[in-house]
Amino acid sequence: MSHHKYTWAQVALHWLSAFVILWSLCTGSYVALFNVSPHMKSIMTALNISMTTLFIPFFLMRVVLRVNHLRHYTVVPGELLATFVHNLIYLITGMVLLTGVLMMDRSITVFGALSMPPLITNPQLLSGLHAAHQQSTAILGGLVLLHLLAVVKHEFSGNRILKRMSFQTSAWESPLRAREDISRQSATDHSSMWAPPATAPSTGNARQPMPSMADDVRDRRRIRRH
């Protein structure tokens, strides 16, 4: 996997996706499971439909970046599970969005401005898609929970993944440019590669002080991109 910083585009897309998915999962489930007034239900549903429909192009951009990333970097054995779960989150989010659009038995209206007629009218198909939307949102909820628990676990074990997924530490360049830079860098500069502790000079049993760049190198070797 790569060992460089996230780009600003990756950070922005990550937090936008996190907000839209968490918001629509929480409010959608709340409206479906609790006794909410019909007025409130229709406001919430209209808001969520508008927001998630607008989110679709951003999600597609993220998928392109993800596929591009997977094509250029080899997944190391220690990151197989995380990569699998991340890929599953992309796949299930795609299914949630697709079933959401297809199950609409009325026009999809985006904040009262844009309107698209329903794509499917067959009632049986619509009810199947409605069930698929409910099931895929439940799976997505489980995966998001797993993802959050993994973040908490990493943070508690000293791996500052949240710090890396911030604008403060992101690289202000295009994701494709960043990839070119890291290829050039890795051909000449081995400091960007993960060096296991065994490669440190072993003079006696005394602990070696970490070099000043240690945190940075240690951080970079754990970088996972979404």
Which residues of the shown chain bind ligand HEM in the complex (CB under 6 A)? 20-21, 24-25, 28-29, 32, 45, 48-49, 52-53, 93, 96-97, 100-101, 104, 108, 133-134, 137, 140
Closest to ligand HEM by CB, 105 vs 181, is 105
Question: Residue 109 or 186: which CB sits closer to ligand HEM?
Answer: 109
Cα R_g (the chain), whole angstroms: 22
* Minimum distance of ligand HEM from residue 42's CB (angstroms): 10
Rounded Cα distance between 106 and 118, Å, is: 5
Q: How far is CA 184 from CA 6, 171, 180, in A?
A: 17, 16, 6
- The token duo for 136 is 């895929």
Q: For the CB of residue 167, give the shortest distance to ligand HEM in the complex, in Å.
A: 23
* Residue 115 or 166 with smaller CB distance to ligand HEM: 115
Min dist. Cβ of residue 43 to ligand HEM (A) = 13
Q: Which regions of 126-173 does DSSP assign to beta strands (E)?
A: none
Residue 218 CB, shortest distance to ligand HEM, in Å, is 34
Q: Which helix (H) or strand (E) holds 110?
A: strand 108-110
Query: 60 by DSSP, 3-state: which?
Result: helix
Residue 6 or 55: which CB sits closer to ligand HEM?
55
Tokens of 225: 């991109």
